[in-house]
Structure 1
Amino acid sequence: MRLSEFIVAHVDRIVDEWESFAKTIKPAADSMSSTELRDHAKAILLGAARDMNTAQTKSEQAAKAKGEDLKKTPSLDEAAASHGELRHIVGFDLVQMTSEFRHLRASVIRLWVDNLKTPDLAYFTDMIRFNEAIDEALAESTAAYADQVTRSRDIFLAILGHDLRAPLQAVSMSTDLLALKAKLDEPCRAHLARIRMGTQHMGSMVSDLLEFVRSRLGASLPVERKRMDFGEACREAIDEASAGHPGTYPVLSVQGDTTGMWDRGRINQLLQNLIGNALQHGAASREITIRITGEENNVELVVHNLGNPIAEDAIGSIFDPLVRSNTAEHPSKGPTTSLGLGLFIVKEVVNAHGGSITVTSNVNDGTTFTVVLPKSV
């Protein structure tokens, strides 16, 4: 009997062995019913049998051996993906889930070989096709499991970031009330100022974390466009960013009409991160320049600082999440509270407004970020 025929004829017996093995996976299996333990096993086996009976050229066989997606058996892929998702939900770890496929492969081959009476050359082809089908199912199941792990982590981070806002707000409000009502001496006021600044840094980190998670969960940054003056927003952002860097104040140049339809909150995020990045990494003795040019259909923002350039091999990934914009020779000036999300948020804000951003950095010219945003949708 050919292997595909054997699988169809003995599918319930094979699934019984699958269930028996799944019961040994503790502690997740302790609370699972027979239906949950047998989850998608029959569909995976029948999908594998259908795949084995599908004609396959030598080139297709070679492609499949390399893991290329030929989309021959959607039912197999769907069953395997659903299995991976559900195994994650009930508490199997990745090693435990993949061990089910290892046991399934061994069980089918063992039961089939025990049933054979005379060897046949075609049986070797059957084993190759069966192994390909199981590998395909395992790949789909593992990918789906990994997606669920990533999504669960992102949801956890979203909840964490959201819940951190309340205690941070309480600390911030209490600090403001103490500054207004309490009669504090100068040292105490200095301590209070440090608490306020630390709270602001933490609030910024939480906001960046939430924006990062939002993008990971597949949602683009929402924007609420209203008419605003980009130059005015930049002046306010400079004042706010410079408060944390005494003695450093960027030089601003505004030319042309800089009004347009943008989301004021998002633009403030963009400006704070770009200006803060320049203040953090620019040479302390050299000025930071910001130029805003209003043109007919767009506005251009250029933020420039001198100092150690961004490492050449880091330019390509500088807008990726959790990547810090370290310079070629020195990490940064002093301690930082950054999560490595600032420039990622900048890129997301630019994309949400339909704009573009580029960066150049070298020893002679310094580092320049250039943002171009359309004035209207």
Structure 2
Amino acid sequence: MDLSTYIEKEIEAIVSEWARQASRLAGEGNALTEIELRNTGIGMLSSFAIDMRTAQGGAGQAAKSRGQLADAPSAVKDVAQEHAEYRLSQGFSLDDIIAEYRALRATVLRLWQTTNPSGSDAFQQMIRFNEAVDEALTEAAREHQKRTEEVRNLLSGILAHDLRSPLSAISNSIELLRHVPALPPMGTTATENAQRSVLRMKRMIDDLLDFTRMRLGEALPIAVSSQNLAPLCRQALDEVRASFPDAQVDLRVSGDVEGEWDGARISQLLVNLLVNAIQHGAGDVHLSASGQCDTVCISVSNSGDPITDHAKRTLFDPLMRTYTPPERRGSAAGLGLGLYVCDCIAKLHQGKIEVESSAQVTTFTVELPRAPRG
């Protein structure tokens, strides 16, 4: 008897045997009722049997083994997705779900072996069965990752949004203290330090909110209008100097640097690039803006340790950071979202950002079209 026929004929016996194993394998506190296990087992086994009877040549088998059919529709994926969603809603971990599949695979093959299957045909049937189980496992892992990302991004968004209110209250209190008559020098120093910390926190929260929006599939809000990069650069320098008073940053502007951009977003890009250069570089930081025919270029350069080729590959990925010296770690090091947000802002304006790094200097260059392309 071939394996797919055996599964359908003996499905009740297989499910009963599997349920006994699965109930023991589930994590603590995640016990399932017999009805829950029975419904799951019957649905998965039936989809496996259907998949095994679907014609598949050598080329199809090779493509499946390489993951080239990962997005192709199938009954196995539908059942696996439904199963994963249900288990995750019950509080199961990915390990618990994998344990279920492991028990199901072992139960089917062990029971089928008692019917004495042999020969190359039996071997091929085992391959098809294992392919179906692996496909279901892959879908379960994908669904688990998707659900985990959604929860993580939602929590990040809530956290960033809720942090704005107390931060605003702190900022207002600091501003009031700055206007207290005859404030002693110690108080003046304390308010200046607090104000710098507030500015850093605000940038981190803004980046986190933007990151969350993009991870949840929302586009960053953008309002394009006529802008001049020169004042935007000067404003960015003022903001960065307020947070890093010891940093030496110079500005050079040449040519026509006017265009159609979102001023607030370009300012955010400038500040993030400057902060990145201060935190990860050494010596003076150089900011320049230059106008060309249809584009405007922004560059931020600094000396310091070069960025390795390995680090460059993930430099603009979210939550990735290059090496930061011990004295610059902590709150000043940020979340590692700054360059990711810069990349997104450049792309929003149909531009691009690139980096070149050597033993002498590291330079980030942003190229922006003067006006949005049609």
Q: Give me the whole-angstrom Cα distance separating, in 2, the residues matched to 1:38 and 1:78.
A: 18
Q: What does residue 331 of structure 1 align with? A: 325
Does residue 357 of structure 1 match 2:336? no
Q: What does residue 369 of structure 1 align with? A: 364
Structure 1 residues 2-151: aligned runs within 5 Å: 2-17=2-17, 21=21, 23-24=23-24, 25=26, 29=30, 36-38=36-38, 40-69=40-69, 74-114=74-114, 116=115, 119-121=117-119, 122-151=121-150
Structure 2 length as normaliser, TM-score? Answer: 0.87
Structure 1 residues 206-245: aligned runs within 5 Å: 206-245=205-244
Q: What does residue 318 of structure 1 align with? A: 315
Q: Give me the whole-angstrom Cα distance separating, in 2, the residues matched to 1:60 and 1:108.
A: 24
Show CA shifts across 1:131-157 (max 9, x none): 221111112112211221122122112
Q: 1:349 deviation in Å?
A: 0.7
Give the secondary-structure state (helix, strand or coil) at the position aligned to 1:308.
coil
Q: 1:251 deviation in Å?
A: 2.5
Does the 8 Å CA contact 1:229/1:258 hold for their aligned counterparts? yes
Q: 1:16 deviation in Å?
A: 4.8
Does the 8 Å CA contact 1:28/1:90 hold for their aligned counterparts? no
After superposition, the Cα gap between the structure-2 partners of 1:66 and 1:254, relative to the gap in structure 1 and judged at 3 Å, is closer
Give the secondary-structure state (helix, strand or coil) at the position aligned to 2:355.
strand
Q: Give me the whole-angstrom Cα distance separating, in 2, the residues matched to 1:199 and 1:38.
A: 56
Structure 1 length as normaliser, TM-score? Answer: 0.87
After superposition, the Cα gap between the structure-2 partners of 1:95 and 1:312, relative to the gap in structure 1 and judged at 3 Å, is closer
The one-letter amino acid of 2:363's match is: T
Does the 8 Å CA contact 1:229/1:260 hold for their aligned counterparts? yes
Q: Give me the whole-angstrom Cα distance separating, in 1, the residues matched to 2:368 and 2:41.
A: 53
Does the 8 Å CA contact 1:39/1:83 hold for their aligned counterparts? no
Q: 1:70 deviation in Å?
A: 6.8
Q: What does residue 263 of structure 1 align with? A: 262
Judge which range, 60-69 or 83-92, deviates more: 60-69
Does the 8 Å CA contact 1:237/1:272 hold for their aligned counterparts? yes
Does the 8 Å CA contact 1:51/1:72 hold for their aligned counterparts? no
Q: Give me the whole-angstrom Cα distance separating, in 2, the residues matched to 1:72 and 1:371.
A: 39
Q: Give me the whole-angstrom Cα distance separating, in 1, the residues matched to 2:37 and 2:169.
A: 48
Does residue 304 of structure 1 match 2:301? yes
Give the secondary-structure state (helix, strand or coil) at the position aligned to 1:289.
strand
Q: Give me the whole-angstrom Cα distance separating, in 2, the residues matched to 1:16 and 1:211.
A: 50
The one-letter amino acid of 2:295's match is: N
Judge which range, 56-65 or 146-155, deviates more: 56-65
The one-letter amino acid of 1:159's match is: I
Show CA shifts across 1:21-40 (max 9, x none): 5555355545x676655565
Does the 8 Å CA contact 1:281/1:333 hold for their aligned counterparts? no
Show CA shifts across 1:302-342 (max 9, x none): 2222333333432332222222244xxx7376343311111
Show CA shifts across 1:242-301 (max 9, x none): 1223354432222233222211221111000112223334433xx433221223422111
Q: Give me the whole-angstrom Cα distance separating, in 1, the residues matched to 2:206 and 2:337.
A: 10
Does the 8 Å CA contact 1:353/1:374 hold for their aligned counterparts? yes
Q: Give me the whole-angstrom Cα distance separating, in 2, the residues matched to 1:33 and 1:162.
A: 41
Q: Give me the whole-angstrom Cα distance separating, in 2, the residues matched to 1:90 and 1:182.
A: 60
Q: 1:359 deviation in Å?
A: 1.2
The one-letter amino acid of 1:278's match is: A
User: RMSD across aligned C-alpha pairs, in angstroms?
Assistant: 2.7
Q: Give me the whole-angstrom Cα distance separating, in 2, the residues matched to 1:75 and 1:347.
A: 39
After superposition, the Cα gap between the structure-2 partners of 1:368 and 1:66, relative to the gap in structure 1 and judged at 3 Å, is closer
Equivalences, count: 368
Structure 1: gaps of 5 or more residues: none
Does the 8 Å CA contact 2:11/2:42 hold for their aligned counterparts? yes
Q: Give me the whole-angstrom Cα distance separating, in 2, the residues matched to 1:281 and 1:197.
A: 18
Does residue 288 of structure 1 match 2:285? yes
After superposition, the Cα gap between the structure-2 partners of 1:313 and 1:109, relative to the gap in structure 1 and judged at 3 Å, is closer
The one-letter amino acid of 1:94's match is: L
Does the 8 Å CA contact 1:28/1:92 hold for their aligned counterparts? no
Does the 8 Å CA contact 1:29/1:37 hold for their aligned counterparts? no
Structure 2: gaps of 5 or more residues: none
Q: Give me the whole-angstrom Cα distance separating, in 2, the residues matched to 1:68 and 1:325.
A: 33
After superposition, the Cα gap between the structure-2 partners of 1:61 and 1:199, relative to the gap in structure 1 and judged at 3 Å, is same
Does the 8 Å CA contact 2:51/2:75 hold for their aligned counterparts? no
Show CA shifts across 1:155-212 (max 9, x none): 1122112212211112111221222246531112211221221122122212222222
